[in-house]
Structure 1
Amino acid sequence: MSKTIRLDKYLSDMTSETRSKVKEYIRKGRITANGVVIKTPETKVDTESDEICIDGKQVGYVEYYYYMMNKPQGVITSTEKGKTKTVMDVFKETEVNCPRFDELSPVGRLDKDTEGLLLITNDGELNHKLLSPKNHVDKVYYAELRNPVKASDIEIFSSGLDLGDFICKPAKLEICDSENKFAAKITISEGKFHQVKRMFEAVENEVMYLKRLSMGSLVLDKNLQLGEVRELTVEEIIRLKEI
């Protein structure tokens, strides 16, 4: 979407340079807008129609970024720096460079020992839509369990499991292989703290391994290794926004 912003903000948003460094570039005449040298940082430019260049190299404007991460175990879903490694620390270790990295945040949370799909974006509106209870966005997990899944578990999950402090919405529990009833897929439309683990605990079972496979229309890329990140395709973004 087109909008008008200050030239120095435009450049600081789209480069790794600080606002003061960008202003220095502008004052030195290194920046052009539509072929004209601009030397005032506060000059307003249109993010869509104006062609902005640094030393003759065009710098396009992108407002929102969308990334898929295959979250590894042992890291927490947080943007805050601390003693424990975060998913944003993992992001920094990849070769993916986002000019607006400081604006990014994960959508929802995965437990420290849970692997799989994690959406990371600076699109606050989409973040809110995906997490809003009223939208009932399905999340699919693969679980390996201490005990085999029973037929009665499937019925209990589908009827809405009572965890004491809240009653889960109906969930879909599927045995992955008729020969291996220790592995299952579960689809939930909520995201309560430790929900999947607590649901299995409620039927006297224990999750030994947990991986998120999908969130809404977004499916974990099978080619994405643990700890890797890639940008979403245009099609994936469009489908996600069709909530």
Structure 2
Amino acid sequence: MRIDKLLANMGYGTRKEVKQLLKSGHVRINNQVEKSPKTHVDPEKEDVSVNGEVVEYREFIYLMLNKPGDVVSATEDANDLTVIDILQPEDALFEPFPVGRLDKDTEGLLLITNDGQLAHRLTSPKKDVGKTYFAEIEGKVTEEDVEAFREGVTLDDGYVTKPSDLEIIETGHYSEILLTITEGKFHQVKRMFEAVGKRVTYLKRVSMGDLLLDEHLELGEYRELRDEEIEYLKELTNLDH
């Protein structure tokens, strides 16, 4: 990796500012002054410092966001605020992206990372990673619906969903449920309930596998994943094998 790219990625300024740092002799590689921005460096094997401060290199960032219902799950959008727009600049530097997609009005657990391999595995239908949603439903959810979801329901385009686990928390004119699915078709949860004659009025993702949304995160807040959470996700997708 070029030294100017490394330092820019680690938050030491723009490429232009980093070049000035180098030119001024403030950067050392293995304790030797380095002035060329084109010099390649292996940050995992070589020591890089700026003004005597060791550069702590990290390749990946893993974030858990409690997504609010007014931002889109994208890296950029011409009309709406994105989940990347609400990150702190030092986190956005890593150029992360959302893992999968939540509808704009859907709240809850959204992972954001720049680890493309893990993101791909978490969203691959082949991995059968369960995603659990809490939903408020207009209409009485019944045991017949539970059975229908277990068998797979036919969506408006003729697609038959994979078996899913529907748990009724409360039922009546308005119902509350938990639903676990292992795929992520467009507007899937909403369309599944439409297939049985009901309407989703509120939707929130609460978990991915056994990784739960941190209850201390307010809407729009996020935190880095803990080491054990990252390891769990890698094990869940067999990334270590």
TM normalised by structure 1 equals 0.91
Write the distance in 2 (CA, Å) between the matches of 1:90 and 1:180: 37
Q: 1:154·1:172 contact (CA, 8 Å) conserved in 2?
A: yes
Matching residue of 1:238: 231
Matched residue type, 2:51: D
Matching residue of 2:96: 104
**Post-superposition offset of 1:193:** 0.5
Matching residue of 2:69: 73
| Unmatched tracts of structure 1, length 5 or more | none
Matching residue of 1:123: 115
Equivalent pairs, count: 235
| Residue 57, structure 1, aligned to residue 53, structure 2 | yes
Q: 2:140·2:172 contact (CA, 8 Å) conserved in 1?
A: no
Matched residue type, 1:142: F
Write the distance in 2 (CA, Å) between the matches of 1:155 and 1:13: 50
Q: For 1:87, what is the secondary structure of its paired residue?
A: coil
Matching residue of 1:40: 36
Q: For 2:90, what is the secondary structure of its paired residue?
A: coil
Write the distance in 2 (CA, Å) between the matches of 1:48 and 1:13: 15
| Unmatched tracts of structure 2, length 5 or more | none
Q: 1:172·1:186 contact (CA, 8 Å) conserved in 2?
A: yes
Q: 1:51·1:60 contact (CA, 8 Å) conserved in 2?
A: no
Matching residue of 2:158: 165
Q: 1:107·1:121 contact (CA, 8 Å) conserved in 2?
A: yes
Matched residue type, 2:163: P
**Post-superposition offset of 1:209:** 0.6
1:176-203 CA distance string (max 9 Å, x none): 2479971100000000011000111111
Q: 2:135·2:176 contact (CA, 8 Å) conserved in 1?
A: yes
Matched residue type, 1:76: V
| Residue 202, structure 1, aligned to residue 200, structure 2 | no
Q: 1:16·1:99 contact (CA, 8 Å) conserved in 2?
A: no
Q: For 2:66, what is the secondary structure of its paired residue?
A: strand
Matching residue of 1:174: 167
1:46-91 CA distance string (max 9 Å, x none): 2112221111112111101010100011211111132222212222
Q: For 1:210, what is the secondary structure of its paired residue?
A: strand
Matching residue of 1:191: 184
2:127 aligned residue (121, 131, 135): 135
Q: For 2:21, what is the secondary structure of its paired residue?
A: helix
Q: For 1:45, what is the secondary structure of its paired residue?
A: coil
Matched residue type, 1:21: E
Q: 1:15·1:99 contact (CA, 8 Å) conserved in 2?
A: no
1:5-52 CA distance string (max 9 Å, x none): 222221122115222221221111000122221122222322112221
Matching residue of 2:85: 89
1:146 aligned residue (125, 135, 138): 138
2:20 aligned residue (7, 19, 24): 24
Matched residue type, 1:189: T
Q: 2:138·2:173 contact (CA, 8 Å) conserved in 1?
A: no
Of 30-39 and 135-144, the range deviating more from structure 2: 30-39
1:224 aligned residue (198, 217, 226): 217
Q: For 1:152, what is the secondary structure of its paired residue?
A: helix
Of 174-183 and 223-232, the range deviating more from structure 2: 174-183
Write the distance in 2 (CA, Å) between the matches of 1:16 and 1:116: 33
Write the distance in 2 (CA, Å) between the matches of 1:86 and 1:43: 35
TM normalised by structure 2 equals 0.91
Write the distance in 2 (CA, Å) between the matches of 1:223 and 1:44: 42
Q: 1:77·1:106 contact (CA, 8 Å) conserved in 2?
A: yes
